[in-house]
Amino acid sequence: MSTNVTQQKSLSCCWNLLEGLKMRVIGLPCPHCEQSVRAIKSRTMSPMLKEITYRCQNEECGHVFVAGLEVLRTLSLSAQPNYAVKIPISQHARASALNQLSLNLQVA
């Protein structure tokens, strides 16, 4: 099986999963003609970064480009954290965690 076919099946699987969850897929338009684009392959660079190759759906434009999908900050702490991954914590999540830690949890 060719790499391209494997990548397409992988993307197809992900799209089907997202459709099943009724999640909205955030897209971006072609930076040149502003028409819709389609992801044609992706590459995981790290646990925090993925590169996605897009192709413009406008045949007259034909632009192909790479965009990045990056984890920027934590909004809600994980119940199963990977301590090897360092993700900045938002001010809101930090305040909430500190508030929970400061609660008096003495057993009566």
- Does residue 95 contact residue 76 with C-beta atoms inside 8 Å? no
d(CA 53, CA 65): 6
The two tokens of residue 70 are 């990056």
Reported as a single tens digit per residue, the pLDDT across 83-92 is 999 999 999 9
Cα 31 to the center of its chain, rounded Å: 20
Model-level pTM? 0.63
d(CA 55, CA 57): 6
Reported as a single tens digit per residue, the pLDDT across 20-73 is 555 566 779 999 999 999 999 999 999 999 999 999 999 999 999 999 999 999
